[in-house]
Amino acid sequence: MAELRGFASRQGWQIMGAYIDHESGGRADRAEFRRMFGDAAQRKFDLVLVWALDRLTREGETFEYIERLTSHGSSS
């Protein structure tokens, strides 16, 4: 977390919060994972910063999740 926060600070990005799950990344029903998508739908942030993609998810749908996050930032 310290490295990610430091990187965000050096970029001049405001940190809106953190989504930390302690369950396996192989499950999509994690509470913080779901909350992240809910916040994305409400446009509470512009960017998700992760240490590595396998920290976001270990499911085969990794790029579908990224596309889903990206679509929330698209203007209608």
Confidence of residue 75 (pLDDT cuts 50, 70, 90): very low
Closest by alpha carbon to 36, among 60, 69, 62?
Answer: 69
Identify the domain containing residue 49 by its residue range.
2-72
Per-residue pLDDT of 7-40, as tens digits, reads 999 999 999 999 988 766 566 778 988 898 899 8
Q: Mean of the per-residue pLDDT values for the chain? A: 80
Specify the number of domains making up the chain: 1
Residues in the chain: 76
In the prediction, which pLDDT does 25 show? 59
Query: Domain with 68 in it: what CATH number?
Result: 3.40.50.1390
**Cα–Cα dist 32/13, whole Å:** 21
With beta carbons less than 8 A apart as the criterion, state whether 33 and 57 touch: yes
In the prediction, which pLDDT does 35 show? 92
pTM of the predicted model, to two decimals?
A: 0.71
Query: Which tokens hold the place of 63?
Result: 């790029």
